[in-house]
Amino acid sequence: MARLEVRDLTVRYGGHVAVDGVSLDAEAGRVTGLIGPNGAGKTTLFNVVSGLLPTQRGKIFLDGRDVTRMNPSRRARRGLARTFQRLELFSMLSVRDNVRVAVDSRRSWSRDPGTAADATEELMGRVGLTELADERVDALPTGQARLVELGRALATRPTVLLLDEPASGQDDQETRAFGGLLGEIAASGVAVVLVEHDVGLVMRACDHVYVLDFGRVIASGTPEEIRHDEAVLAAYLGTGVGVRT
């Protein structure tokens, strides 16, 4: 089941077309990758899907409902969550307090059972932050800080999770563990959409991959299909370096 459906999405800045007729699906229980060279339109696409930018053409559906004209907060209540390429955290608060803010935000409009404290502890354990719960976020390495942002996104209990460069700052061991975590999140019924320059992570973690270049989808398929796609190789300067694992 496609939890997120994007149909013929187009975004223009004056005479520049940043996203050009993009269509894609993200299914429940799967990790969907979105890759492409710098400036291909990946983050712009995320901004439109999450409601931060308008679209000049096209439709966005969450679990079958048209949300194209909904504001970001309404989309969040419909099940959409995201992280950002640039960390968006309360840097002087602890890991626990950062996650608790997101838990409390959801509980302000939902009827979730249990306590906010229990939900916060469960989320920190889920993303591997329990031992760092009392650390200030500005004291954490970037890779661990990104896990805090992931925990906050999960606090909204999303059905669609958009992740923009979530492995940035992680070492090889952390990245491999993160790939496993993405699989666990997807297995809970979430549609995960991953924008990531670490294409090795994308090839290991994703079930389906879309490739953007100059705002258009130039290829889509399984990681194995993408790895050998001639248009993809050309987009990465013909070297194939972008699709190594």
Tokens of 38: 């710098």
- The residue with greater pLDDT, 231 or 4, is 4
Residue 149 host element (H or E): helix 142-154
**Average pLDDT score over residue span 42-67:** 96
Rounded Cα distance between 244 and 227, Å, is 7
> What CATH code would you report for 2-79+158-243?
3.40.50.300
Over pLDDT 90: what percentage of the chain? Answer: 78
Which one-letter amino acid corresponds to residue 113? P
| 99 burial via Cβ count (<10 Å: 0-12, 13-18, 19+) | buried
Question: Is residue 237 over pLDDT 70?
Answer: no
Domain regions of the chain by residue span: 2-79+158-243, 90-157
Rounded Cα distance between 43 and 18, Å, is 10
Mean of all residue pLDDT scores within the chain: 92
Task: Using DSSP, state whether 237 is helix, strand or coil.
Answer: coil
Task: Using DSSP, state whether 106 is helix, strand or coil.
Answer: helix
